[in-house]
């Protein structure tokens, strides 16, 4: 049912996030980078999580997330907005 997780490293994929808007606030201010979602998997001092766990965050949101590590920040600032956007797209297609 669940696949074994692998630790991916992909420099080209990491760089691709700089041209996207921030997934948390929508900023397109030139400070957007690929930010790793950190909790449990492959995280710890000096260890980056797998590159398939990256989202685009501006410098401000990235700093905010780093000051509040854990799933709560991601759920409140990224997942909730993604779900709302998905609903709005669905509603428009009705």
Please, which pLDDT band fits residue 19 given cuts at 50, 70 and 90? confident
Sequence-ordered strand ranges (E) for the chain:
33-36, 54-57
User: Averaged over 3-18, what is the pLDDT?
Assistant: 82
Question: pLDDT for 24-75, tens place per residue?
Answer: 999 999 999 998 887 665 555 566 788 888 899 999 999 999 898 788 999 9
28 close to 52: Cβ distance less than 8 angstroms? no
Q: Give the per-residue pLDDT at 50.
A: 83
- What are the distances in angstroms from CA 35 to CA 42, 55, 63, 89? 14, 5, 10, 26
CA atoms within 13 A on the CB side of 54: 23
Residues linked to residue 54 through DSSP beta bridges, in sequence order: 36
Q: Give the per-residue pLDDT at 94.
A: 81
Distance of CA 23 to the CA centre of its chain: 7
């Amino acid at each position: 049912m669940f696949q074994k997780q692998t630790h991916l490293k992909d420099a080209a994929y990491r760089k691709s996030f700089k041209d996207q808007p921030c997934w948390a606030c929508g900023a397109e201010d030139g400070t957007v980078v690929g930010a790793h979602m950190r909790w449990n998997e492959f995280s710890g001092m000096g260890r980056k999580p797998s590159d398939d766990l990256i989202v685009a965050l501006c410098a401000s949101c990235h700093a905010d997330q780093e000051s509040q590590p854990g799933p709560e920040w991601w759920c409140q600032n990224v997942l909730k907005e993604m779900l709302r956007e998905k609903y709005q797209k669905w509603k428009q297609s009705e």
